Amino acid sequence: MLQATQLTSIFAGGTWIPASGDRLLEIFDPSDGSIRGEVRSASAADVDTACTAAAQAFDAWSLTAPHERAQIVARIAEGLTARSDELADAITAEVGTPRHKCAAMQIAPATTAFASAARLAEAVLLEGRLDDTVVQQVPVGVVACITPWNYPLFQIATKLAPALVAGCTVVLKPSEVAPTCVAILADLCVQAGLPAGVFNVVFGDGPTTGEVLISHPAVDFVSFTGSTRAGARIATVAGACIKQVSLELGGKSASLVLPDADFTVAVPQTLAKSFQNSGQTCAALTRLLVPNSRLDETAALLERHVPSYLVGDPGDERSVLGPVATAEQRAKVGELTIGARAAGAQLLASGAVTGDEYGYYVPAEAYLTGPDDLLSQEEVFGPVLAVIGYADIDDAVAIANNSPYGLSGAVWAGDPHHAGSVAARIRTGSIGVNGAKTHPDAPFGGFRQSGFGRERGAHGISEFLTTRAIHY
């Protein structure tokens, strides 16, 4: 059972230790703006305790047989399933994901990430030979993981699970916005038999606790998911220490609908991918590109479908979307949409909002904008879709690539082979054709300001490995 004192502690060496930091950060319930708890920001001494525990545990853990590490990671996956309801309650209360969707959206992908890493572990950790030289894949060392609030458990899972099976030890700094699921995860790691010191947790914000963690001399590798602005700062701090980094950052992904596509399928499915988790998804399809000649048809489809995205209390099963997670995010979405309308963006469709007046609710909206306009370029991180017209396919590809980001995307066409050829011209790390499902083991990561490095599957495990040559 979760204890309130865990959120004012650090998890180091397999046990909870009271944190010595002097800052208490409030945890808010986005459904009504109420304070539901506090988390204590770790001090530099706390970070040192956690990093020292990870460093001391590294030798033994890195020498543990891969199949033994995989068995422990598989047991963590089983533990997540067993405590799915408790985890979903915590994430709904801190992030605002509708409770009736939380298990499928937030918990199941995290469980899959642990199970996948366990299954792939031994296949990735193979030795090679060059005559009398052995080339080994070895763990990179102590890893600092810094994760966001939008998918608080899943984003941890895509880092922690592959790091563990690779033989690394970990110090995690999760988002201070949604810390409760982390305390549950730490307890599950103990129950799964993970040795003390292999997984450690410090709470706090990025500019203070996060930078101390990145700079700690025991840390060999930094894995970060979050905003591009924060990622640039992390790269600077890590670079000064000559540390490897993996950055999964922002996105402004395009859903390109070709003239021969079925618009009655492409437009609603783009909306679903745009508004998922109230738009707080880095890979969301937030730009809808359609032929200029089909803009009226697209607007009619949006008028039909956008109102179905009722934004409301996450505990109400009628709510399709919940609030955004923070008051700051609500303000940002409002500022961007007000600014866009003032600059000439045309509101095409909007959904209804219910819920407590003090909650962080924003309506689902779709706007007609130009390719260089604010809503077409800025990552909103809210339920806002930018609709952009194009003249021909070359123009559409140019618009899709007219972004500093390159994380995700989609192409829709009557001919899937034609869609694939167009998709190959778009500079992005992942792109779907005609609504194809994403394989959970497929590599995920971005181009340009969406970051570098890959997560998930075998590629995700490889991020936490380096090579060593032994010559005989």
Tell me the pLDDT tens digit for each residue of 316-375.
999 999 999 999 999 999 999 999 999 999 999 999 999 888 999 999 999 999 999 999
From 234, 252, 254, 253, select the one nearest 244 (Cα to Cα): 234
Residue-wise DSSP of 190-256: HHTTPPTTSEEE----IIIIIHHHHH-TT--EEEEES-HHHHHHHHHHHHHTT-EEEEE----EEEE
Of the residues 181, 211, 282, 455, only one is catalytic, namely 282
For residue 361, give the amino acid letter: Y
Terminal-residue alpha carbon distance, the chain:
53
From 281, 354, 277, select the one nearest 312 (Cα to Cα): 354
Q: Is 248 annotated as catalytic? A: yes
Residue 400, pLDDT > 80, answer yes
DSSP type of residue 104 = I
pLDDT above 70 as % of the chain: 99
Q: Is 68 annotated as catalytic? A: no
CATH 3.40.605.10 holds for 4-249+450-471: yes
CATH class of 253-441: alpha beta
Residue 468, pLDDT > 70, answer yes
Q: Any idea which residue has 């208490």 for tokens?
A: 24
Q: Alpha-carbon distance 301 to 348, whole Å?
A: 10
Q: Alpha-carbon distance 88 to 106, whole Å?
A: 7
Residue 126, pLDDT > 80, answer no
From 295, 1, 11, 356, select the one nearest 172 (Cα to Cα): 11
Residue 2, pLDDT > 80, answer no
Domains of the chain, by residue range, sit at 4-249+450-471, 253-441
Q: What is the dihedral of CA 361, 284, 77, 200, to 10 degrees?
A: -80
Asked whether 98 and 92 are in contact (CB, 8 A), the reply is yes
From 204, 217, 201, 218, select the one nearest 17 (Cα to Cα): 201
Q: Per-residue pLDDT tens for 232-256?
A: 999 999 999 999 999 999 999 999 9
Grade residue 6 by pLDDT with cuts at 50, 70 and 90. Answer: confident
Of the residues 248, 365, 455, 463, only one is catalytic, namely 248
Residues ≥6 apart with Cβ < 8 Å to 59: none
Q: Alpha-carbon distance 370 to 368, whole Å?
A: 7
Residue-wise DSSP of 105-138: IIIHHHHHHHHHHHHHHHHHS--EEETTEEEEEE
pLDDT above 90 as % of the chain: 96
Q: Per-residue pLDDT tens for 91-100?
A: 999 999 999 9
From 142, 28, 432, select the one nearest 269 (Cα to Cα): 432
Which pLDDT belongs to residue 86?
97
Which pLDDT belongs to residue 125?
75
Residue 4, pLDDT > 90, answer no
Which pLDDT belongs to residue 289?
99
